[in-house]
Structure 1
Amino acid sequence: MNNIFFYETEIGIIGIRENGKAIINIYFSKIENGDNMEETNLIKDTFIQIKEYIKGKRIKFDLPLEPQGTEFQKKVWQELLKIPYGQTRAYKDIAVAVGNEKASRAIGMANNKNPIPIIIPCHRVIGSNGKLVGYAGGLNIKEKLLNIEKTDVNKGE
C-alpha cells in the first residue's frame, strides 16, 4: 500500500506519496485517494530536502523516484532532470533533446503529467518567448520556484 503525507510550506500545501521504496507523486493540494496517511522516513526525508530547496540551501535532490507514465513521458522527465539548477529550457529544447524537434506540444503534455514536480523540475521549462506557460501547481508556484533558483543564497547541497 502507498503512503501519503501533507505539509504546509512557504509555497503552499505539498503532499508526498511513496510506494514503500520510492517517491511516486508530489501534490500541491490535499487529495483523498485511499492511501495510508503516514509520515514514513522516506516521506520525511523528501520533505526535508524540499524545505532545504525552498530555503535556497539545496540544488540537487537525492531520492529514489518511480514516476509512472508512458515511455515517452519518462524520456521527457529524464531530460528535465538534466536541466541545471537556476537555468531554464524552452519546450522546443526538450523536444530536440528527446529526438523529435517538432514535439513541443507533446513535451508540454508530458510536463503537465509530471507526477513528481519540484524534484523532476518541469518548472524549468518555459515558452520559447521566455514567458512562463502552464504549470500543474499554477503559474504563481512556478514563478516562486524559478525565483528561488535565481537567488544566490547558500547554494550548498
Structure 2
Amino acid sequence: MGEAKWLSDDEMAAWQAFLTAGALLDRRIEEQLKSEADLSHLQYEVLVRLSAAEGGELRMSELAGSVVTTKSGLTYQITQLEKAGLVRRRSCAADVRGVYAVLTDAGRDRLRRAAPGHLGVVRAHLIDVLDGDQLRSLREGLGEVVRRLSGG
C-alpha cells in the first residue's frame, strides 16, 4: 500500500466541518422528532419512504438500502414501529423469504403530524442557513459522494 496522502489544512477544515455539522444537525433532528412525535430520525425516514412508495409498502431489503441501514437494524426499527401500530409486515406471496413493511393509517397520520416540525428543524439549521450557490454546491458535492459510494 502506498504512502498516505495527508489532508491539507483546507481539506481538514472541510472534513471537520462536515463531521461536526452532520452530528449537530442529526442531534437536533433526533431531539425534535423524539419530543414532538416520539420517533427516532431513522423511524421517521422509514415512514417517509413507505409513504412515498406505491401502496405504502416496500420490501424490507429495498427499504434497508433506501434508509442506509443494515437489515438487522431495520428489522429492529420495524419491530418498534409495528408495536406502535405505525407499520405492519406482510409476507411476499411469490417469495417465502420476502417480507414487506406496510405503512398503516396510524403511521401515515403520525408522519403527517411530525413533518412540519421536522421540516422546521431542517430549514432552520441547514436550508435557510445557506444561500442558493452553497446549497447547489452541497447538493452536487454530496451527490457525487453518494454516487461513488453507491457504486453508481
TM-score normalized by the length of structure 1:
0.31
Larger Rg: 2
**Larger helix share, 1 or 2:** 2
TM-score normalized by the length of structure 2:
0.31
